Amino acid sequence: MDTPVITAVARTSCQRCYKRKKKCDRALPQCDNCRTANVQCSFLDGDQQSGTYPIAFVQGLEAKIQELEGQLALALEAARDRPEPSLDNGQSGTQSIGNSTHVDEALGSDFSPFSSHGQAQSSIEQVPAISMARELRILSLEATAERHLGSSSGLSFAKLTQTILKRLTPDRADFVFGISQGDDLLGQINWDSPPDFFHPHMMNFPNISGFGPTLFGDMSLSSIIEPSGSLSDLGLPTKSRADQLASFYFAHSHTLYPIINQSEFLTLLDRIYEHPLDPSTMDPTSLFRVWMVLAIGSSSRCSVSVVEESEALLYYNKALEYFEAAFDYGDMVALETIMLQVSFSFFNQLGPNTWFLVGTAARMAIGLGLHTSSAYERVPFDVANMRKRIFFSIYMMDRVISIALGRPFALQDDDIEIEPFIDVDDDHINDLDARSRDRLEPSLMSIPRHILDLRRIASKISRQVYGNQSIIQANMPHREEIIHSLHKELIDWRRNMPFPLPDVHPRVPHLSSNWYDFNYYTHMAMLYRPSPLFPTLDQVMVKKLANAASMSIRQAYTMHRQKRFAYNWLNLLSLFMSTISLIYASTAQPQELVSYLQKAQVIDDLELVLQLFDKLNGKFSGAKNIQCIIDRVLRRYKEMCNMNTPS
């Protein structure tokens, strides 16, 4: 087999292309434009260090070299200890072959300099073996760069579903994904081994916005930072573009996590454009805030439209120039700078991972006592309300990330003494109180207040269904009462959603009732899937799980058709869990499976979610594996139905 070519792509344009505003292919060590023009490329300029190989790329090569050196040392030592074959016994022509064979045995028959963890290059041609649990682990761990997944992450449930799928095979053998793929590249990769990032088939995956062959690619903070020279001349976009991005930020991210005073920010933005100042004369806090709002606004827009995100990355890089100076402006400002990075990380995994950032923000908030009532004594009303908004935004971020990954919460519900922020917009609040507003006109702050209620219910589900051993060991009536009570809370939450929803932007997901339906059903599926509280489901619970999973997929597809579904990594995980739940609940039905499939809409639902993952694959190449899983199960369902259809 031909040795695969190791290629690398820089995460930024070279300086020549950047200054000439030309599209740069970012090929290392020299881009195509510079090579064609026969001029020096900044990637080759060692003094400037303008272009670098991605950190993960270099670290991967270093680790592989160390591993191979260790294996080679062991092999040579074993070869020296083995007696030389005699040249007098008719084997004079086999000495080199014998030594080579012994080295192969010492290294392992699957040795290859281009495989991961010692996997053979030839193993790529073996039978591929994708598993739901493995894909969920890859998606979750690459999202956070951590190495622990707890019960609420759904990892055990994915393994259980993999076992249940034996029902789809005639001999009840393991259900294997990706066997009969024909010429599809999925059939040419050993999915049961760690990803081989240098294999040419992996390198040919779609690469949008710099995301590589893994879920988020080998992108790290240092590998995407623009050279200081290329950012020093970067000015703000036009006023109309800045207004557009800021408007989307406040319609989207602000209504999820209201950590900035909207009125003050818009006043600041107008002042900057009306009276342009030298950036060196402005305070770094304002500059960091402006550039981060532009970055988050651009990135969140891209998550809905799935377009390349170079603009957002450029603004984010520019904001980092002011991060350290802004961080020194006081505790509350430092807290805001971290939370803005968390908000950006929901769309782009750069630098420290999201879970780490949320934990840092939570510890800072606790250190400031923002969870206690004493922290708000003798504080102006508007300042106190803003601090509550910041604290409960951290709480919501903590619940979203920790539940998705099965991690312990950074903030404990029992420690929180304060009431939530009020559902009144910034321009209706002063230092004494909140002015009354027209209740017929919806407030933007009613959205995060209602989402906060959902996060609190999710917190109860995590603690009572997945995390409290004393409750898990309770008797059956008590456990059923827990499920019933949480189910009722979810119903009440859905019924009490803000109405009418603010009509400020047609592309914002959570300004549509379908978003609330989607979250209602995803949380319902989390409640009814097999868990430590109910490891075995009865027929009623299986039916509720099937309905919740089906409806969550349909709501996501409806938002996709409306062009207001956010294609971020959190929704990728949510959709994957809904898909696993649907497959489990359908395959585990106590009635005859073919009869159930013919009556239910399982096949239709899987075809819908297949389209969603096809769209997600444009941004997250890890979605390709999930497509293979869905397609394989879908084809098997169809085969079973067709075999039982009268001709």
* pLDDT at position 91: 38
pLDDT tens digits for range 506-543: 999 999 999 999 999 999 999 999 999 999 999 999 99
Residue 414: DSSP 8-state:
G
Please indicate, yes or no, if residue 38 is contained in any of the structural domains: yes
* pLDDT at position 142: 53
Dump the DSSP string for 277-342: --GGGS-HHHHHHHHHHHHHHHHHHHHHHT---HHHHHHHHHHHTTHHHHHTT-HHHHHHHHHHHH
Please indicate, yes or no, if residue 31 is contained in any of the structural domains: yes
Model confidence band, residue 186 (pLDDT cutoffs 50, 70, 90): very low
Q: How far apart are the first and last CA of the chain?
A: 47
Between 24 and 61, whose confidence is greater?
A: 24
* pLDDT at position 178: 55
* pLDDT at position 473: 76
* pLDDT at position 143: 52
Total domains in the chain come to 1
Nearest-5° Cα angle at 559, 556 to 561: 110
* pLDDT at position 439: 66
Q: Tokens representing 331?
A: 């505790």
Model confidence band, residue 171 (pLDDT cutoffs 50, 70, 90): confident
Residue 9 β-bridge partners: 27
Instruction: Give the Cα separation of 348 and 341 in Å (integer).
Output: 10
State which residues form the domain around 47. Answer: 15-53
* pLDDT at position 83: 52
Please indicate, yes or no, if residue 45 is contained in any of the structural domains: yes
Between 201 and 584, whose confidence is greater?
A: 584
Q: Full-prediction pTM beyond 0.85?
A: no
* pLDDT at position 90: 39
Please indicate, yes or no, if residue 233 is contained in any of the structural domains: no
Between 565 and 190, whose confidence is greater?
A: 565
Please indicate, yes or no, if residue 309 is contained in any of the structural domains: no
* pLDDT at position 503: 87
How many residues appear in the chain? Answer: 647
Please indicate, yes or no, if residue 33 is contained in any of the structural domains: yes
Mean pLDDT along residues 199-216: 32
Please indicate, yes or no, if residue 298 is contained in any of the structural domains: no
Instruction: Give the Cα separation of 347 and 339 in Å (integer).
Output: 13
* pLDDT at position 474: 79
Mean pLDDT along residues 597-613: 94
Please indicate, yes or no, if residue 46 is contained in any of the structural domains: yes
Model confidence band, residue 139 (pLDDT cutoffs 50, 70, 90): low
Count other C-beta atoms under 10 Å from residue 284's C-beta: 20
* pLDDT at position 530: 92
